[in-house]
Structure formats: C-alpha cells, structure tokens
A and B are shown apart, each in its own frame.
Chain A
C-alpha cells in the first residue's frame, strides 16, 4: 500500500542531517518525521548478551569487554545504547529498563544516569540499579539470566540476556535473541538503522500511520475527511484550526434546558404529578429535565459529527478529572452549566478553570461546598479539590515521580490539619437565587456562579470562617497564610465579603502554584489522551510547558495540549514499547468504531440521533453519571497480575470484555432501532466497505482499508490472515456479510480495544 523509499543510513543523527539537505523534504520541514529512531542495546561481540559491568564513579564508561558476564543484584551497573537522537534536555528519565525472568515475571530497573560513552560519540552509557522498582514481584527469586529491554519514546529496543548475579538458565536458549555488538551495528547487521518515508512530492503531512494515531488521541476517532485535512495542512496547523473552531459545532448547540423545581411533582415549575397511566408529555418532561438524557444525546452527537473535535475531547478528559455526576445531579440544565465551564476553559488557563469550577453550582452541590458554613464546615470539596483536581496526595517531581523522604517514603502533600485549614476558606458560598441572570422564584439557580453569603442580611449570620488559615508552604508559595478577619475587616457584611472573595483567590493561587499541579494535571491528561503509563521524561516535558508556556505563563492549557500531542513519545507511525498505549474507554471504543466505519440513523436516510449512551453504560461508562467523584476508573489503577498502570482496565472485566464483543455484535449485525427516546436510531453505514468487498473478491482491499483506518496500519500478518480466512469463508456474492465479518473481528479484537 505504501510506496517506500528506504534511505539506508548508519545512524539516525546522520538521518537528521539528511533531512536538512534533502530538497525533497524541504517543503515539509514544518512537519518533521515523527518517527524516533529505535534504540539498540549493545551486546558483547558475537553473543546476545548485554555488554554490561558494574558502574564506575567516574562515569567514564567505555565499551570494553567486561571481565564478568553478570551484574550483582542491588548494585549499579551500566549498559550501552546506540541509535538515539536526543532532544535538548532529554535525560535519564526518558528511558525505562525492563527485565523478565524465566517465569515471565517482569521487573523494572531504575535508570540513574545517562552519559556519552567516551571514545564512542555515537553511543550512550546508561547507568541503572539492578534492583526492581515496581515491587510487584520484589526481586527475581533466583540468580541467572534475565532478558532485558530498554524503552524510549514508546519504542522498544532489542532484547538481550543479562546475567543477574550469575549467568545461565533457560532463557539462554530463547529464540530470537541476537548479537548486536557495536561492530554489528556499524556494519548494518542490525536492522532498524534505516528509516522509511513515502515518496510523495508536495506539501503535507505524509506519515499516514501517525496521522491516524494522532486523530485517535486528539478526537473521538479519525474519519476519512479529517485524515485528508491533516494530510494537507499538517498537525500543527490543524491544532491551530481546532483551537479556533466554534464550540459547540453550529449543528449541535448546547441543549437549551430551563431550570426546573427540585420537586419534579411541582405543577408549575416541575413536570407535575405523574399521571396514571403516564403520558408522553410527562415522560418527555422528566426525560429532558430530570435526567442526563439530553446531555448525553448532545455529547454523542457532537462526538460523532461535530467539527470541534479537539475541544470536545479535552473537555471530556477534564470532565473525568473534575467529576460531577448525574447520580446526584438532578437536572440536565445543571450539568450543561457545568460542561460549559469545562469547554470554555479547555483551551484557557487552568487557574481560571479552578476558579470557575469552584463556583460552579453543580460542583458546589455535588461536593457540598454550598452547604459548608462557619458553624458547620464540610470537608468534601476542599479535600477533593486538593486530592483529585490539583495537587494530589504526594509530593511529585516535575516528571511525575514521587518525591521521597530520607526513609524512602512518599511525602504527603497535606494532612488532616491542612484539610481543616482549606475548609475554612470555602465556607459561606451558596446558590444565587436572587439577583443573578437566571435567578427566579421557586428555583435553585444552578446556572450562575455561586455567590458569597447569599441571602445573609445580618452581620451575625455571616457564614464565612473569619479565623486565620495556614495554606501550602512551598518555596515561593504565594499566600501561605491568610490572616484572620479582625479590626475593621469584620465590621460589615460587605467588608467580610471582600475578605472572603480575596481569601478565595489567594487560596486558589496558593493551590494553583503548588509545584505538583503541573505534573499532576499533565500526567492525567496524557493518560486520557495518549498513553496510560507515560515515561517520566514525557510528563516532565509537558509539565514544563504547564509551568511556563514559553512566555512566562503558567497553566496555559492550549500549550499543554500541544505539548502532549506533539511530543516525540506520542508521535510516530507505530509504537513497540510493550507498555505503551491505553485501553479504549467505552466512549472511545464506540465513537472510534462509528467514525471509522461511518454512522447513520437506523432508517434509510439521516444521521444518528446520538442516543447511544445505553451502549457505553452497559460497559461501565454512563456519560455524566460516574459512580463517584473518583470517575469511572482511577488514574492509578494497576492491571491485575501486572504492575502496569491501566486506568481504563478498571472497566475491563470478564463481564464487560464480553459486553464489548456484544456491543460490536449489536452494531455490526443489527442496530439501535427507532423508539420513543431514539427518534432516528443509530446504525453503521457499510455502503463503502460493501463496495470494496464486492470489487475485490480476494478481500485484500477490504483488509487494507480496515487495517489503515482502524489499526493505523499496525495489523500483524497473523491477525490479517486470520480475519481474511474468516471473511473468505463467506461466499463472494455476499459482500455485505463479508464486510461485516471483517469489521466485527477487528472491532472485537484486543488489538483494537487498545489505542496504541
């Protein structure tokens, strides 16, 4: 499918030089090759055994044949890696070293240092500690060979044997381990020192695998049109275009739902008492006002058809960090007011998001801030704004790894006393039931921001805690304490209001500037968009942008999103690191499948109505209805039986894994039919694929297209041949069934469940 132009080069830094001089590539210089070179571990000459020895204090590690063929457990050792092309500032935390023993147990060795190997400017020495840092299996039980690999930017090196305490054991006989000594590499005996590109003249973004991978990360799924757009204008221009897109898309405006009484039985301000038997009018009233139905319907319509894909995707990620839930939030109008805060700040500044969300009435209700007063403080919001929305529980380095105390224990960012102090600040706000744009008698105003001391007219009824507060105290912390409101401060309600509002801003500044916020927010957003277990270097690069967008501004989300999506670890046609990628959450599984194939209504013509939440709900993700403030899945979820971060795997059980297959079965072989609440229904549009299957009875073309679209061209030969056999078991005069067969098998495969 590709026309390849292989450029043989010895080392990628030469390739970089070539890029500059090649006239063919000048037109695309704003879109450099997204593919990083593949790291190569250096072996001992003629054996598949890692060249390694105990680390030297001098750090002058040369490529000498070591005296011993093994490293000592617990000690520092050194390995050599070739074929790197380091960016400025890229250091030891960009690399991860994994080892496995003959039982298949996995270990991770901490990387301590990175330095050029003396006398070999092409090669780097990596110092690592021969000590598992995951702690899942502790250390290898027995001495003998391990198999090690190194990963960098989502790419895996070759694997080599490493003697752990001694050499020998079953792994020595493992097939596929090959010598990769320096002379092998220099004489091109080791593959991987070449790169490919499409020989297409003209401008544009040529890396088709990477284009589709990018769209998987930045949207609710690639489409043919989006792919063509990026091919023409490149990633950066597309991002700039998306930053300016009107939102919501003009065709899918936010549902305009009025506030209703909190008592749905209310005859004038609610839906009235339920008639027996119930009427359509009543059912629709409840559905549209006292249910998340209109929000979900709108959300999926924008995801499936909207143009403002990036903002919608980022707002969805933020909605899974700043969680409120229809489990408690009664009305769709309240949820829409909350979503507007997310979407309006998605390309804005995180500090504004913090403030707007703190005063959002839905959040205020969900986490009880509206009920927190001087005399009856409530810790719910203060605790969660710190733990879940901004700093997290433990002090972090900029690269997202835990800081440790002298006893190697993580350092809590705050304790109960801290929570008590922050709680005082958040006392006294309430709904704006009079005097705001949406205030109306008999209604709770869930649309306008909370206001301070709402309805309080007597000084003695002030609801704000006026005592002093102790906040975070980190180097350079603004407002680490807030003085008590005394003297003239507490003389009038208006002076108290000034104090409280100033205190709130001071406190939010104190939180926002905490050094944890950059890595905490960056890592969580990376997990939502790109990969579940990003390298510390990746987190650090993004957090660096969060801390300063280059113009001295902290918290610029536009810059953060660009940094996440354009990072070397995110980009490239394919990733080989075994720990790269993420399980598609049910929402992404559904929208990606629908957009890959094409989605329409259940009738002969027309679009889907977006009433598809029932499908993701069955898989554990009912949108805007997370079970708790901890979202549908926790960011630190570890896959059972491994030590690998996999947040979305909290939704992957025996039950839902079959549910995912049954979802595909429903959509491929059936549809979501038209019903009272689904006026148009939803079905997949197989027209194009059916034509492909009819035109090429070998089904190769069908598989090519599905491979390119759904797997961004990473389908393995095994997978392709298995599906091809199943497809061709169906008579060639039934091209529709052939197309469905192929789509079902790709859609249900674990290979497609994972965004990689």
Chain B
C-alpha cells in the first residue's frame, strides 16, 4: 500500500522546513563580513533582503503549520527534497540582484549548482564579481555539500533527535550514525571546519608561493578551501585553478578534494587511532584502485596519442583532471573546450565513467559511490563463481566497511537500485542533451558531470545554452545530490496527493 501525504503530513513537513529556514536566514548574512571587509557596501542590500525574505517565510511556515507531531521517514524524505529546492531558490537572490548571472533562471541554476556541490557555473564575469558574492557562492557549496546544512539545522533546531536521524537518511548520509545525532552532526561539522581551516591556510601559502599578492591568495584560499573540501569546484576566477599557473597550488587542491571524497566515518576512525581501517575498508580499496586504474589509462592515452610529452604535463593535465572527476570536485587545469578539441573521445568517456563512479559514501562527493561499486563487483564475482561450484555449495562473501558485514541480497539490491536509477537518469540526460544538437560524447560528459555533482564542463554549460537544458541539468543536480530516491519519493507523494484531490 503506497502512502499518501495527508494535510497532517504536509503540516509536519512545512513546519520543519520553517524551522530549518530560520537557521539559513542567519547563514545568508555571513557574506556581510567580506562585504564590510572589502568595502563592497553596495552589495549589503542583497544579503539583508535575502535574509529578511527567508526569515519571513520561515516564520510564516513555522507559525502557520505548527504541530507537535513527530517526523517519520516519509516526512524527512520530502522535507530534504523540498529544502534543497527552496534554499537554492532563496540563495539565488543575491546572485540575481548582484548581476552575477544574466537571468533569474541562471541565478537559480548557479545557486542549485552551488548548494548541491556541483560547480557547473553560469556566472557571467567572475573576474569582476564582488568578493561578498563570491563568498556567498563558495559558502553555499561548503554548507550544502560539505556539512549538509539541512541535517545541521535540524540537529540544532529540531525538537527530537529522530528528525535529524531521518534527515540523514534523506540526505543519503545514513551510515555510521552514532547514538547521539547531535554529537554526530557536531563531529561532521568539526571535521569539515578543521579541514576547511587547514585547507585555507595551505592554499593561501601555496597562492603566495605561486606569486599572488597575499590579499588575493587569502581570499582565494578561503574560497577554494570551501569548494575543494566540499568537492564543489567553484572558483573566484574564470580560469579556475589555471589562474595560478602552478603545480603546488594544484597539488594542495587535489589533496583537499581527495580528503573530501573520503567517508566521514573514515576520517573519524583515523582521528580516533583506527589507522588500519584505511587498508581494510572495501570502499577505500575500490576508490583508490579505480582512481589508479583510470589515471593510468588516462596517462597512457594522453602519452600514446602524443598529446602531452612531459611527465609534468601528464600529471598536471591528465592525472589532475581525472582525480578532479573521480572525487566529483570539478576543478580544472585545461580550458573546458580543450577536452573536446584536444583530448580524444575515449578520454571523454573515461572521465564520464570516473564521474559516474564518484567518491565514497557519506562524504562530500557525488556519483554512484565506491561502496556500491564494490558491493556490485563482489556480487558479480560471486555470480561468476556459482556455475563452477557443486549445486549444494553455499557461497557467500563479506565486505569490510567499519565492520565486517555479510554480502546479503538486500545489500546488493540496495546498491543495484541506486546504481540503476543513476544509469537511467544518465541515459535520459544524455538523450535530452543530444536532442538539443550536441554530440553524444559531449552529451554523456556533461550529463555525468551534472548528475554526479562534479562541475567539469566540455563547453555545453554556458549562459547561452537553451533554457530547457538548464532546467534538465538543474533536475539532474538535485536528484544526483539526494541520490535519486529521495526526490522520487517527493514526486510520487505529490502525484498521489494530487490524484486523491482529483478523485
């Protein structure tokens, strides 16, 4: 029996949405700090207006739909899916008012791309954009993808721990929740903030080393640390990381992205002294082995085709792009168009594959995730073994992810459902993009980038691209960030509720 959302259910969802927006209204004031610091006082109204509007909506929702009822899983899934949309919509106001984007749709695209940690950009002239607006764009990635602001706000403002537990599941971060969710949330925030501070410090030093003036190096360091750890990929410059023309800066950014792509629980295990976990964890093994394999393939192709001859070029262009794709970061060190013009199609497909595979579960990265890939590979190997064993033989396998777990059919089914839905969306997105007249290889690349929240582009994502394609990619980014099922639950619940009204 399928559930239908009643008026009472919507009350619970909208009430909690209101509470969440209360916290966000204050978060939207944070860019005031760089606005004052860099004397960009003309940008102040954008943030006051956004914050005020958010506060009014939050107050309206939490006052009008006030309820004492507790959240259930269905409410949490719908809440998370709605929260992502509404937050992106509200966050687009400063970008629109500040003329960072040429239309309101572009501003919505930009903020959704930021909040989902994608990094595909429609910003018109990033080099002449106010620093406060850059701070807003980069902070969105850190909050949306780096710390999961929806969970944080529910943990801070929610009345019960259960609401946060359920929101964790909606945000596709259900694993490894510790007995106290508030503690876990603090832990996630603490880890993210520590890596952010370390990253900002190292990137600032790297920026100064590469020859930037300390002021620019510090601001860029903060921005790139927000987006590097969040595997987001936004940059304050139209050249992205190519602005720095230096390997040291690229290496620091790459390390930060790899850290962001690893499981929060792994960070916790390492911080609490369980160093063996990194060698035993199935997910880590799959992540590093697929990265190594695809890096080798990329390097061989680039070298074999004579595209880059030196080791430095192969590393800074080939390996960097591949790691940026696999961690779903989206920083780039070659102009997007050169992926199509200089690199062969086979490499575009390898990059698309690495984007689809993605980083680790419960991390800031997107994609199908290494844990699911590992589970599916193990299950595939088992099925291959089966015909060669006696019929009476009972075969099974285990995988290690924080603890040893049996490879049950439920686990395999769960991984297969998510992987299949990703692939279905990938093919649909590719078909739609190709229908707009782009090549199939380019369409696959751009779709994989939007769906896995990567942000690399081969030139399709541009303010001049058709509005239909912008909406398609927005849908893909939203569904990709919430691992498809959360959004499907909301859409099905909406359809069933509407169906009942029609009856």
Physical interaction between A and B: no
